[in-house]
Amino acid sequence: MEVQTFPTEIVFFDLETTVPNKVGQYFHILEFGAIIVCPRKLEELESFTTLIQPKDLSVVSIRSSRSDGITRAKVTNAPSFEDVAEKIYGLLNGRIWAGHNIRRFDCIRIKEAFAEIGKAAPEPSGIIDSLGLLSDKFGKRAGNMKMASLAAYFGLGVQKHRSLDDVRMNLEVLKHCATVLFLESTLPNQLEGKWQSSSKIMTRSRSNYQIAQRAMPYSKGSLGKVS
């Protein structure tokens, strides 16, 4: 594969996989999604997503507990990982990788997938793992720091567990966290600690729906670019 480097571009990516339920089973990639982002303006420059058919279709559930989840029928006619490996390599190699919990999960799965087809894996010019970053900088004010919890904290909707939707949600969460941290650094004595005490007002719940609901930066049900 041709070596390309884009050291100043960030690629947010996410994988949806099977979940092993027995000893000795592996994670099988079912979907890959990525957006390339300009770090100066946080603009989405390019996006790509694809379902992926594993070699053994029996590892994919016939039904999904999620309304838009990935089922065996959805990946039956999807390309194999080898079919899309060159495209994925071109998106990832030489760029800064970003994602939620990617150090412990997505990065490992990508290397495994390339090793399985006997090809060199892409290499990042740097890694931004928002789970570790936000746990350190933002603290536990949003709870367990899962993407779904962070999105709910900022009223960004429900995590869909689909790759392209999730990476766009990841970027929006980082924007919101960065704004809060910037404001806190500007007036630390007045603002630090105050956000946590007001979180019940700022987030949605059935009991305070009329108070908490606010305009979304994108249309309902969509996690596209912010207008």
The CATH number that applies at residue 66 is: 3.30.420.10
pLDDT at residue 23, as a whole number: 80
pLDDT score at 152: 94
Partners of residue 50 on adjacent β-strands: 32
Does residue 134 form part of some domain?
Answer: yes
* pLDDT tens-place string over residues 202-222: 443 334 433 344 444 444 444
Structure-block tokens of residue 111? 């290397």
Residue 9 has pLDDT above 80, yes or no: yes
What total of structural domains would you count in the chain?
Answer: 1
The residue ranking higher by pLDDT, 65 or 167, is: 167
What's the pLDDT score for residue 24? 77
Give residue 46's pLDDT: 96
The residue to which tokens 């999105």 are assigned: 151
Q: What is the pLDDT of residue 6?
A: 63
| Long-range contacts from 146-153, C-beta under 8 angstroms, 24+ separation | 147/100, 147/173, 150/177, 152/203, 152/204, 153/199, 153/202, 153/203
76 belongs to a structural domain: yes
Assigned domain for 41 exists: yes
Q: Which is higher by pLDDT, 105 or 186? A: 105
Catalytic amino acids? 161
Structure tokens at 123: 């290499």
Residue 205 falls inside a structural domain: no
pLDDT band for 4, please (50, 70, 90 cuts).
low
Average pLDDT for 85-100 = 97
Q: What is the pLDDT of residue 220?
A: 41
pLDDT for residue 207: 40
Is 204 part of any domain? Answer: no
In a domain, 216, yes or no: no
* Domain carrying residue 53: 10-186
SS3 12: strand
Weakest-pLDDT range from 60-74, 131-145, 168-182, 201-215:
201-215
Q: How far apart are CA 202 and CA 212, in angstroms?
A: 6
Query: How much of the chain, in percent, has pLDDT values that exceed 70?
Result: 79
pLDDT in tens, 95-144: 999 999 999 999 999 999 999 999 999 999 999 999 999 999 888 888 89
The tokens for 12 are 């947010």
pTM: 0.80
Task: Over range 78-106, report the average pLDDT.
Answer: 97
Domain annotation covers residue 215: no
**What is the pLDDT, as a whole number, of residue 227?**
33
Q: How many other C-beta atoms can be found within 10 angstroms of the C-beta atom of residue 175?
A: 15
Q: pLDDT tier at 2 (50, 70, 90 boundaries)?
A: low
Is residue 175, in this structure, part of any structural domain at all? yes
Show the DSSP H helices in the chain as ranges. 72-75, 81-92, 107-116, 130-137, 147-153, 163-186, 188-191, 194-197, 199-202, 209-212
